[in-house]
C-alpha cells in the first residue's frame, strides 16, 4: 500500500515538473524578457555600408556585445532616405531583438513629407555618440578660404556657387539655414550620397560639400580639402585650428546624434537592459578613444533624454524648412 502511494506521488510530482518546464519554455518562446538577451540582436542601419552611420554603429556594437553578453548582427537596408529600413524595424515583433541605429535624418523624412513617423513613434535605448564636426568643405583649388570670402562672392553672384546635398538629407537643411542666416542664394545640387558628393567636389563639379569633418579627415590632412569652419558651439579638440561658424559671424550649431531605437511596443525592461549597456559603452575609455579618432564625442542620453533631444531637433529643423 505504501509503495503504491509513493509511486502515485512520484508520478504526480513528475507530471507537475514536466508541465512547469513546458510552461517556462513556452513563456520564453512567446517573448519573455526576463533573461534578455538570449539570442542575437539584429540592428538595422537604414543606409548603405561605409558611411558614418554604418561605421559608428559597428564600433558601438562591438562594445555592446561585451556588455549584453550576446552577438549583434548589423543589417544595412537602404532606400527612401532611410524609410525602408525604419519601416522594417516597425514591422518586426516588438521583443527587443530588432533595433534601429540611425541619426537626425529620420526626423527630416517627416519634415519633408516623405514619412508619417516621428520621434514619438519609437522607444529609445539612448544616444551614445554626438557628431559636432559638421562642416562646409571646399577643394584645395577653391578661391574660398573662409566663410567671409564665400559669403561675399555668393552675395555678388546669386545661384553661382554649387553646393552638394542629397534629397531628404540633413545637409540640405544646413544649406537652407546658412542661406537664411547670411542672405546668400546657392545653386543646390542633388549629388547623391557621401562618396558621390566627395567625388563631385574633387572633380570640380561642385564648389561646397557639407559633411562631417571626421569622415574626410584624410583628405583634410593631405590638403585636398579645406574646411571653412565647424557648425558647432566650440572648436573641436581634434581640429583646434578650424574656427566655428559662430566665430565667423554665422549663428549656427548642429548636433548630429546617433541613437538606438526600438518598436514602440517593446517591453520597458528590455529597453532598460539595452540602455544600461549603452551607458556603460559610452563610459568605456577604449570606446571613447576609438571614436575620438573620427572627431566624435561620447555622450550618453537616457531614453527620455533622447526623445527630448530629437523633438528639439525636429522643432528647429521644421522652422528652417518652413522659412525657406
- SS3 track for the chain: CHHHHHHHHHHHHHHHHHHHHHHHHHHHHCCCCCCCCCCCEEEEECCCCCCHHHHHHHHHHHHHHHHHCCCEEEEECCCHHHHHHHHHHHHCCCCCCEEEEECCHHHHHHHCCCCCCCHHHCEEEEEEEEECCEEEEEECCCCCCCHHHHHHHHHHCCCCCEEEECCCCHHHHHHHHHHHHHCCCCEEEECCCHHHHHHHHHCCCCCEEEEEHHHHHHHHHHCCEEEEEECCCCCECCECCCCECHHHCCCCCCCEEEEEEECCCCCHHHHHHHHHHHHHHHHCHHHHHHHHCCCCEEEEECHHHHHHHHHHHHHHHHHHHHCC
CATH number assigned to the domain comprising residue 167: 3.40.190.10
Residue % of the chain over a pLDDT of 90:
76
Residue 87 and residue 166 in one domain: no
Residue 140 and residue 109 in one domain: no
Q: In angstroms, rounded to a whole number, what is the distance separating the alpha carbons of residues 236 and 309? A: 21
- 221 in a domain, yes or no? yes
CA nearest to 91, candidates 258, 265, 259, 260 = 265
- 27 in a domain, yes or no? no
Residue 150 and residue 242 in one domain: yes
pLDDT band at 109 (very low <50, low <70, confident <90, very high): confident
Residue 76 and residue 98 in one domain: yes
Residue 156 and residue 236 in one domain: yes
Residue 243 and residue 170 in one domain: yes
Residue 158 and residue 290 in one domain: no
pLDDT digits (tens, 9 = 90+) for 231-285: 999 999 999 999 999 999 999 999 999 999 999 999 999 999 999 999 999 999 9
Residue 209 and residue 223 in one domain: yes
* Other Cβ atoms closer than 10 A to 140: 11
Q: Give the pLDDT of residue 31.
A: 45
Q: CA 79, 315, 276, 67 torsion: positive or negative?
A: positive
Q: Give the pLDDT of residue 50.
A: 78
pLDDT digits (tens, 9 = 90+) for 270-321: 999 999 999 999 999 999 999 999 999 999 999 999 999 999 999 999 999 9
Residue 107 and residue 144 in one domain: no
Q: In angstroms, rounded to a whole number, what is the distance separating the alpha carbons of residues 251 and 245? A: 7
- 32 in a domain, yes or no? no
CATH number assigned to the domain comprising residue 59: 3.40.190.150
Domain that holds residue 214: 134-248
- 119 in a domain, yes or no? yes
Residue 91 and residue 153 in one domain: no
pLDDT band at 7 (very low <50, low <70, confident <90, very high): very low
- 23 in a domain, yes or no? no
- 16 in a domain, yes or no? no
Q: Looking at the predicted structure, is the pLDDT value of residue 21 above 60?
A: no
Query: In the Cβ-directed half-sphere of 305, how many Cα atoms lie within 13 Å?
Result: 12
Residue % of the chain over a pLDDT of 70:
89
Helix axes 147-156 and 170-182, enclosed angle (nearest 10): 70
Q: Write down which residue in 208, 226, 248 finishes a domain.
A: 248
- 12 in a domain, yes or no? no
- 283 in a domain, yes or no? yes
Domain count, the chain: 2
pLDDT band at 19 (very low <50, low <70, confident <90, very high): very low
Q: Give the pLDDT of residue 200.
A: 95
Residue 168 and residue 181 in one domain: yes
| Integer CA distances (angstroms), 119 to 22, 109, 122, 255, in order | 40, 11, 6, 16
- Return the C-alpha cell found at 59: 564600433
CA angle 133, 134, 137 (to 5 degrees): 110
Question: Which residue shows C-alpha cell 579627415?
Answer: 217
Residue 80 and residue 101 in one domain: yes
Q: Write down which residue in 201, 228, 248 finishes a domain.
A: 248
Q: Write down which residue in 248, 269, 297 finishes a domain.
A: 248
In this prediction, residues 8-18 reach a mean pLDDT of 43
Q: What is the largest CA-CA distance in the chain?
A: 109
Amino acid at each position: 500500500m505504501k509503495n503504491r502511494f509513493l509511486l502515485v506521488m512520484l508520478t504526480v510530482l513528475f507530471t507537475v515538473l514536466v508541465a512547469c518546464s513546458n510552461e517556462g519554455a513556452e513563456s520564453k518562446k512567446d517573448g519573455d524578457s526576463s533573461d534578455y538577451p538570449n539570442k542575437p540582436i539584429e540592428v538595422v542601419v537604414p543606409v548603405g555600408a561605409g558611411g558614418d552611420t554604418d561605421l559608428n554603429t559597428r564600433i558601438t556594437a562591438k562594445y555592446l556585445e561585451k556588455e549584453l553578453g550576446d552577438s549583434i548582427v548589423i543589417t544595412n537596408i537602404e532606400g527612401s532616405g532611410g524609410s525602408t529600413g525604419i519601416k522594417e524595424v516597425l514591422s518586426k515583433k516588438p521583443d527587443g531583438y530588432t533595433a534601429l541605429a540611425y541619426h537626425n535624418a529620420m526626423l527630416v523624412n517627416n519634415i519633408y513629407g516623405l514619412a508619417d513617423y516621428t520621434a514619438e513613434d519609437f522607444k529609445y535605448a539612448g544616444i551614445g555618440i554626438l557628431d559636432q564636426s559638421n562642416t562646409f568643405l571646399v577643394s584645395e583649388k577653391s578661391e574660398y578660404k573662409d566663410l567671409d570670402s564665400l559669403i561675399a562672392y555668393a552675395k555678388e553672384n546669386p545661384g553661382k556657387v554649387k553646393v552638394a546635398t542629397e534629397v531628404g538629407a540633413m545637409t540640405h537643411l544646413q544649406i537652407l539655414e546658412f542661406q537664411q542666416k547670411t542672405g546668400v542664394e546657392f545653386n543646390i545640387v542633388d549629388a547623391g550620397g557621401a562618396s558621390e558628393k566627395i567625388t563631385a567636389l574633387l572633380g570640380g563639379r561642385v564648389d561646397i560639400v557639407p559633411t562631417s569633418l571626421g569622415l574626410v579627415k584624410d583628405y583634410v590632412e593631405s590638403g585636398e580639402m579645406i574646411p571653412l569652419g565647424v557648425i558647432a558651439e566650440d572648436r573641436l579638440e581634434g581640429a583646434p585650428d578650424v574656427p566655428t561658424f559662430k566665430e565667423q559671424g554665422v549663428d549656427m550649431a548642429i548636433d548630429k546624434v546617433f541613437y538606438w531605437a526600438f518598436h514602440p511596443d517593446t517591453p520597458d525592461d528590455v529597453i532598460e537592459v539595452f540602455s544600461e549597456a549603452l551607458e556603460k559603452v559610452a563610459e568605456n575609455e577604449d570606446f571613447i578613444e576609438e571614436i575620438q579618432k573620427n572627431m566624435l564625442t561620447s555622450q550618453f542620453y537616457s531614453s527620455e533624454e533622447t526623445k527630448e533631444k530629437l523633438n528639439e531637433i525636429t522643432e528647429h529643423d521644421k522652422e528652417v524648412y518652413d522659412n525657406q
